[in-house]
Amino acid sequence: MDNTTIKEHYITEFRKAEENMNGEASTAFHLIRKNAIAKFDELGFPTAKNEDWRFTNVSPLFKFDFKKGNTVKLNNSDIEKYLINGLNENIIVFINGIYSVELSSIKKQDNGIVIDSLKNVLNTKPELVQNYIGKFAEIDNGFTALNTAFASEGIVIIIPDNLQVKGHIHLLYITGEEGKHVISQPRNLIVTGKNCRVNIIESYHSRTNEANLVNAVSEVVVGENSFVEIYRLQQENESSFHINRTQSILAASSTYTHYSVTLGGAIVRNDTNIKLNAENCTGNLYGLYLTEGSQHVDNHTLIDHAKPRCQSNEMYKGVLNDNSRGVFNGKVFVREDAQKTNAYQSNKAILLTSTAIIDTKPQLEIYADDVKCSHGAAIGQLDNEAVFYLRSRGIDEELARKVLIRAFANDIFETIANDIFHEHLNNLVFEKLK
C-alpha cells in the first residue's frame, strides 16, 4: 500500500469506530480525537521530504496490513519472562494495547493516587484527563495524529501532592498474535502534584515473531519540586516497528530523568521531548541503542529551555553492528527568556563494522545571551589502544572488544541508584552484545 492508500485506510477505520461509539462520540474527549483525525488527514505519514524524517524511511511499515489485536488469554507464567526479578511492586500489563486486570498487580494505594487504564478513566472520570491529553504532545506528524485519533487505551497515573511512590511502577506492553500483524497505540498520561516522587519503567515486548507496530504517545506533567524518572525499554523482535513520542513538561524546581534503551525493533523512531517550563528545573535525557542486522533506530530529542535558571543534561550512546543504522538528532532550544541556562549534550557511537551507519546532528538554537551550552559528539571505532592494552595482559581480542563495548554501553546506567534495576539493564546489554 502506498502512503495515500494507507492514510485512507486509517481514516475509514476511524469512521467505522465512530459509528459504533454511541454516546461516547459526543463527549468532549472525542472532540480531541476528531481534531486529530482531521490533522492526520492533512499531514499523512511523514516522508523523507520532511526534514525531521530525512533519515528514517517509514515506507517498510506499509507493506503490512496491521490490525487491532485482541485480548489474548495469558497466565502469570506467560509474562514472567518480561518481569524484572525483585521489582514487582506495581505491575501493569497491556496485551496488544489492552489493559489486563488479571495480570496486573497494583499495590494497595489509599492515598489518592490514580493508577488505572485510560479506558476505565474515560468511562468513569474523563475529567481527570480531559485537560491534559493532547495539550503537550503537539500533533506535528502523522503518527502522533493517528495515536491521538485512536486514543482509548493506555496508562493514567495521577499522583497527588506530597506523595512519594515507593519502588517502581512497571508498565509492560506485550504485543503479538499468532498469524497477525498487530497495531497497538498506547496513550499514556502521567501527572504529578507538588513534592512527589515516582519511578516508572515502560518495557515493550513482542509475544510472537510477526512484525507488529506500536505507535505510542506519552505525556508527562511533572509538578513543582517533584522527581520523576522514566525508563523506556524497547525490546521488541527485530521485525517490529515502534514509533514513540514522549513529551514532558516541568514545573518549578522539579527534576525529570528519562532513559531510553533500545535493543529491539526493525525500525524504531523516538521523539523524546522535554520542556523546562519554570525556573530551576533539571531535565536529564539518557539514551542507549544497540543495533545489529538491519535495525534502524532514530532518536530525536528536543530540550526546550523556556524559563531561566534550568539545567539539562543529555547523553546518548549507540553501538551499531552489521548493516544497522542509527540517527541522533538532538535539539536544544534556549528561549530569549531562559537566562542562566545550563545545557550539556553528548552523543557517542561506536560503529563495529564499515557498513553500519550513523547520522547525527546536534542542533543548538540559543536566543538568550547569558547561557552555558556545550555539546560533544564522538563517532568512531573501538579504541585500538585500549584493545591492545587489554590484549597485552593476556585477554584475547574478542573478549577485549566485548569488555570495551559493554563498558561503553553500561556507562549510561552509572547514575541509576537501584542495584536490582542497574543489574537488570547490564544483563540486557550483556545478552544483546553476546
Residues forming contacts to another protein in the complex (CB under 8 A) are: 383-386, 388-397, 399-400, 403-404, 406-408, 410-411
Q: Which is nearer to another protein, 302 or 382 (CB)?
A: 382
The answer to whether residues 262 and 270 touch, using CB atoms and an 8 Å cutoff, is: yes
Edge-to-edge strand list for the sheet holding 98-105: 98-105, 90-95, 169-175, 197-206, 227-234, 255-262, 282-291, 311-320, 341-351, 371-380
Cβ proximity to another protein: between 54 and 402 the closer is 402
Between CA 278 and CA 416 the distance in angstroms is: 26
Rounded least distance, CB 404 to another protein, Å: 7
Nearer to another protein, 368 or 386 (CB): 386
Per-state percent for the chain, helix, strand, coil, to nearest 5: 25, 40, 35
- Work out how close the CB of 354 gets to another protein at its nearest, in angstroms, rounded to a whole number: 18
Instruction: Choose between 138 and 383: whose C-beta lies nearer to another protein.
Output: 383
Q: How far is the CB of 413 from another protein (least distance, A)?
A: 10
In this complex, which beta carbon is closest to another protein, that of residue 367 or of residue 430?
430
CB closer to another protein out of 51 and 385: 385
Instruction: Give me the least distance between CB of 380 and another protein, in Å please.
Output: 14
d(CA 288, CA 286): 7
**What's the one-letter identity of residue 115?**
I
**Strands 90-95, 98-105: pairing kind:** antiparallel
- 409: cell is 554501553
Supply the minimum distance, in Å, between the C-beta of residue 379 and another protein.
Answer: 17
Greatest C-alpha distance within the chain: 73
* Residue 63 to residue 58: CA distance in whole angstroms: 10
CA 416/CA 414 separation, integer angstroms: 6
Residue 409 beta carbon to another protein: minimum distance, rounded to whole angstroms: 8
Which own/partner pairs from 77-82 qualify as long-range (CB within 8 Å, at least 24 positions apart)?
79/103, 79/172, 79/174, 82/172, 82/174, 82/203, 82/205
| Minimum CB distance to another protein smaller for 128 or for 425 | 425
